[in-house]
Chain A
């Protein structure tokens, strides 16, 4: 156990975590340079393209230290986005230490702080690493100053590195051995292991990633999940070295995997405790939570005959994504689909992209909604996240919506702009403090519903990319909720409906009508677009009819060009939905989500 180190890398998004992981893997030589694909831990296409880590992965790196001994360094990768805070916390609970990675030119950002707090909650030993020192804009002194002032860590312990150029990698490996404590635990005690992730293997079923706290696990053991008392027989245990390397046993302090004939990843719960069926430990590890979706949206195939394909795709996706929940849904406008719950808006986008890309589906997503609590006149409480299920408003006494506490870190020159944005979103400024003389942390309480659309994009744009953001759910508060509907040529399109605060209704309805006008292609007749609350029309716009639609010239060179245009239109039409006589493009469903006119 003395030769094991379990650690994570924590960082703000884009600070170079994946690149550093790659270099550490390369230097451990567990994979040949020839087979090396950059950002090996981010194996999904989307992850590599977006440069973000969604599914965390683990790798066991053998390292020969300067003391002559060989260590097993278990690098537990963590997802790097606010939607996945819980997953991060479970990964951290499996470690004794963490590398806190800070971009030398960007400095400390909101997620740096949030992740540091998470790590400190788990009593982790922290090694600060200043990355990207090769950049011309690197300002090491400033970052050291931030490490001291903002983070309260000793800046002299910070390691200077450039993961891109391979600078500082050995120093980091050595520091992991020297500065991080080895795990503690009793190999002979009853088994107690923490699940921090799982993934699906089409041949073997669910592969559970876990950390053994106490005890020993071998293949053939009968184990039990303490959250639901499900029992399984262990088929294989081992460690990850990019590929799975089976071992006879895993024992206290080790990090590895287990295969036990578990059908789907939903049968395992991140944060759950694994123990032996016959000789259980007395108490589960603390901190277990069910991952709760906070954003809801309905997914429909554009082509109604693609529903069967969507069912298959959702089932397959679910195998690998325990946090995705869904149930059947149907819409008068869009036919059959699924109502889905997501951990956040990024999670939603990732699911959409995976469905479209990996399963070649063309999808329409309805306006994302949070989950509201409705107090009915008869004293009943109803929970709804789907505008289609919104009851007759005269039966509702009042509604409540979820709030978050948002921490925003910005250079202080953007204070006014951020204040304005948050107040527009019905935010309450609770606190602000200077972290250093020009950097400000502002804390707001905001309705989650105001954040799920484009808050982060807006924040980035008004702060020219400097603003960073982290949030946690706090409570439910009373709100004045209305259901905003849209009518196309007098026909209500249920998939465009949304639940919003009454004060925003007129503005949103007006912007949405204007956007819809831009998105709906002109036809031979006039198309009326209306926004309405109940029977009350609050905004309108009109798509005028064609008066002429003919190209004057068509000779040799124009024919290919024209045909290509027709081909493009034809492809575009596949992504349209007929509502009555009117063609609604997929983009129309997105248009109503925009909160801004630009």
Chain B
């Protein structure tokens, strides 16, 4: 049944979290994600859940750690500077094999930066979301509908792999309103969490949630195990992307999130001019669709990466393309959203070379 409503991306994310059984939210105010904390403060009590404004992003992520360790589906959100504060807790959550969902509604940086949309936390999200040998699953939706769907997916993946999952949006996706159909969401029941620390009732040995291994042999074994049974399987099974007309393309434009919608217009503008242009969009930024991009590099002539940053994904595309084909970059940063014309012009320029 259709449950179509008009909503901001931030609100759709919040409602989707509640719809898939998340009953705990811990956050801290920061623009442009405040609608999430506000929505949760209003809706969680109605849904029999609990929402708390913590004293800091650091406290919020550690409340998430506690709630997750206690077996709950739990959610937190922030924007770039606040995500930096959460990195400590995220590393502990990853090191303790706990599931949770974290949204980063990105704004410009570094430092206090600005409050307008950006994608300049790509490196942080995909490479450095905390200290140590660890990763997250990173989803990059590009519409309000997909934000809702990815939120459900994020909770399912988090529980399946016992890993933190990040939904990476930006100030534009978070703030813009679009129709969203919650009837389309596929809700799965979370798995039973026999590992949770919620009191053993004298029926089992104590469960210990821990990330400390003082003996290097033990720590190495734990990390190897996590790569083998988690990250490698995620790489194999959870890569998601979208593409069209990439085979034999003169140029493939690679972009994600809000920019992928702008890039789609640019690709069609190029086509109108007779250019064989293709479109590729990583839907999971981690795991990155390197395998498919490598295949495309066999037949496509070149790539143009476009992002709202200084080209942070470019290296990943170059590695995926195996240096077989040139990879150029065009982007805007600091909170400025690129236009289809700018991407078109950048593509036209490299094609002239």
Do A and B come together as binding partners?
no
Please report B residues at the A interface, Cβ cutoff 8 Å: none
